[in-house]
Copies of this chain bind each other. A is one copy, B any other.
Amino acid sequence: MGHLGENGLNCELGNGVSMCGNEESFEKESNSSSIQYAVKVLLMGLGEDINREGIRKTPLRVAKALSEGTRGYTQGVKEIVEDALFPEACVGNSEVGDAGGEVDGLVIVRNLDFYSYCESCMLPFYFKCHVGYVPSGQRVLGLSKLSRVTNVFAKQLQEPQRLADQVCSALQEGIQPKGVAVVLQCKHLPFPDMESNTLQSHHKGVQGILVSAGSGAFQNKDALIWDDFLGLLNSRGVDKDQIHDKGSLDQCWCPSLSSSKVSVKNEEINPLMVTAVASILKSLGEDPTRKELQGTPGRYTKWLMNFQCSSIEKKLKGLVWSGTNGASSDNNTLHSELNLPFLSQCEHHLLPFHGVVHIGYFTSPGFEIEKSLLQTIVHFFGVKLQVQERLTKQIAETVSSLIGENVVVVVEASHTCMMSRGIEKFGSNTATIAALGRFSTDLAARAMFLKSIPSAESL
């Protein structure tokens, strides 16, 4: 591990100061440079050249994203809810006669989208939040505050049940209503199974869990008021019977805790990387010795090692295609292989992106490439630090080298960096296309292929 020698790192740190451009203001934050240092250790541990232009600023971007993504540690709930309670005592009094004058009805804000970070593996996870409360003291809360309070706890390292409990307690304490109910629909990224090259089965279902928390009138899970709350969520796809019971979460939530999904062996883990991740946790304001976090640096390092820099030629060497080269004149049948799943890691933010690859090529009938070979190519180019544009081109060129030049590749992907940080565009989805040979000029052929791509559901 010569890369990780002290000289190299110190030298790079010295350069770090000049790296910031328009992101200078962030540099002032005290913990940023130590996170950047740790990220450099990780990149070098992956075998990357930390001076390569694409990842030169990755340490800065990761530090910024992590600090933003865990800003909840320094935020308070009290400041959010104070001044946001409005009196509704006059309801029913002034205009249509007095029928009690108290807003005693349940208020539910549904379908709030968030990202949080999994405390077990440090990957971002998505959740949809439904939160309700029964007002008391003739006071109602500004609706946006339910979202703002949830975000304080979302922006921490979390696991679903604790997140629900914390949001619930904070609202109960902050606004003192008759009761608070919280339901979270959480989705975790799957971990790749590196033993087999085909990721199909692991990509189809994103790891999901439904948790709830209640206080006051909602404290008892069997309280009848839960029926009102869930009755109004029912139409939104929330099934009461699927709500997870407290206690037995760890086994089924984060894939990093399920040993069968972890292909990188303990002896392959570089202890310098593990130490670097632990130092990041500390810089974010967490206690790395907290029980739930003790294994996190190791698990995150294992995840990262799936994307270590390696020779693709070596990986691809074993692959053979039994067909003939497709340059002969009768190669005029368009063949499409659609929805090949992939998982990759964005080199700009060290965050996963994943989706499907569609490959089209001309060949003679009977000379199609085996689907498993295409899936292997897709897999190999996915499991390293990547950008989607390069991934698309590399797959096209590799397939072209097997079958001849007439190849078109479309990649459709969800980028967690577009959702879990900064712009937080939850439904966004990126499509890229690389067209080689005949596909680069023959628009009718390209259109025919594009039409064959099914309408994908975004995650």
Contacts and interface: CB of A to CB of B under 8 A. Distances in A.
Interface in A213-240: 224, 227-228, 231-232, 234-236
Contacts of A33: none
A148 interface: yes
Contacts of A432: 105-108
A429 B390 contact: no
A387 B140 contact: yes
B227 A431 contact: no
Interface in A90-110: 91-92, 95-97, 99, 103-110
Contact of A392 (B53, B82, B105): B105
B86 A235 contact: no
A349 to B, nearest CB: 9
A180 B53 CA distance: 25
A366 interface: no
Contact of A453 (B95, B135, B235): B235
A325 interface: no
Contact of A428 (B106, B109, B425, B447): B109
Contacts of A458: 111
Interface stretch (A119-127, A199-207, A274-282, A414-422): A414-422
A11 B424 CA distance: 43
Interface in A161-214: none
A430 interface: yes
A410 interface: yes
A88 interface: yes
5 contacts: A53-B86, A96-B312, A103-B393, A105-B393, A231-B451
B393 A97 contact: no
Given A231-B451, A397-B97, A401-B96, A435 B390 contact: no
Interface string A431-449: 1111110000001001100
A429 B111 contact: yes
B401 A97 contact: yes
A443 B227 contact: yes
Nearest to A135: B389
A456 interface: yes
A449 to B, nearest CB: 9
Interface in A403-418: 410, 415, 417-418
Contacts of A417: 143-144
B54 A394 contact: no
Nearest to A454: B235
Given A83-B22, A236-B455, A394 B96 contact: yes
Max count, chain B CB within 10 A of own CB: residue among A82, A387, A400, A428 = A428
Nearest to A98: B397
A147 interface: yes
Given A22-B83, A227-B450, A235-B454, 13 more contacts: A96-B313, A99-B400, A99-B401, A103-B389, A105-B393, A109-B430, A111-B428, A112-B425, A144-B418, A227-B443, A228-B446, A232-B410, A234-B450
- Chain A interface, DSSP helix/strand/loop, else mixed: mixed
B418 A96 contact: no
A456 B111 CA distance: 12
Contact of A390 (B21, B57, B91): B91
Nearest to A427: B111
A142 interface: yes
A397 B98 CA distance: 8
A54 B451 contact: no
A348 interface: yes
A389 B88 contact: yes
B144 A423 contact: yes
Interface in A116-155: 135, 140, 142-144, 147-148, 151
A325 B439 CA distance: 75
A397 B436 CA distance: 69
Contacts of A425: 111-113, 147
Contacts of A88: 387, 389-390, 393
A330 interface: no
A163 B378 CA distance: 38
Interface in A242-282: none
